[in-house]
Amino acid sequence: MHIKDHPVLGPQLQDPVTIYFNDQPYMAYKQQTVAAALIANGVKKFGLSRKLVQSRGLFCSRGRCCSCYMTVNGEDHVRTCMIRVEEGMEIYPNLEDPEVRGDGHGD
């Protein structure tokens, strides 16, 4: 859930934006990170581990653990706890390793 009136910091969420996760629209607020905005909407599972195919989600929220990797606006392996939401952002879960060797990626 979004915290509309924070007990210490007061009402902080002013500018709503719409983001898309798996093509579904969700409401978020400008200062939120992508990972946090999805958690506010009840989405916790962000991807699968590469070897044992186990569910993964936010863990450290500091950009250290890389457990919150997702594909954001076409870019793979984005640490979603470290970037803020933008209007119309398209987010997909990280279900497998991205293709890094190829024409578009300077092999």
Partner 1 sequence: MVMETDVLIIGAGPAGLAAAYETASRGLDVTIVDESISKGGQLCQQTQILRTLPSPFLAMRGYELANTLINQLDEFSVRYLLGHRMIGTYKDGSIGITDETNVFPVNPKKIIVATGAAEKAVPFPKWTLPGVITVGAAQTLVNRDFVTPGKNAVIIGSSDFAMDVAIQLSDVGVNIIGIVESLPKILARDAEKTEHIMQRSIPLYLRSSIKEARGNGEVEEIDIQFPDRIMTEKVDLVCVDGGRTPILDAFYQLGCSFGFQEELGGWLPQYNEFLQTDCKDVFLAGNAAGISSQGALLITGRIPGVRVCEELNIISKQEAEHERASHWKELENLEAKLFPEKWEARLNHIKNYANPLLKDQFIS
- Shorter beta-carbon distance to partner 1: residue 6 or 24: 6
Closest CA to 36 of 12, 8, 7, 10: 12
Q: Nearer to partner 1 by C-beta: 20 or 49? A: 49
12 binds partner 1 (CB under 8 A): yes
Residue 34 CA to residue 36 CA, distance in Å, equals: 6
The CB density around residue 3, as the number of other CB atoms within 10 Å, is 12
Residue numbers at the binding site for partner 1 (CB under 8 A) = 1-3, 6-9, 12-13, 29, 31-33, 36-37, 39-40, 44-46, 49, 54-64, 67, 81-84
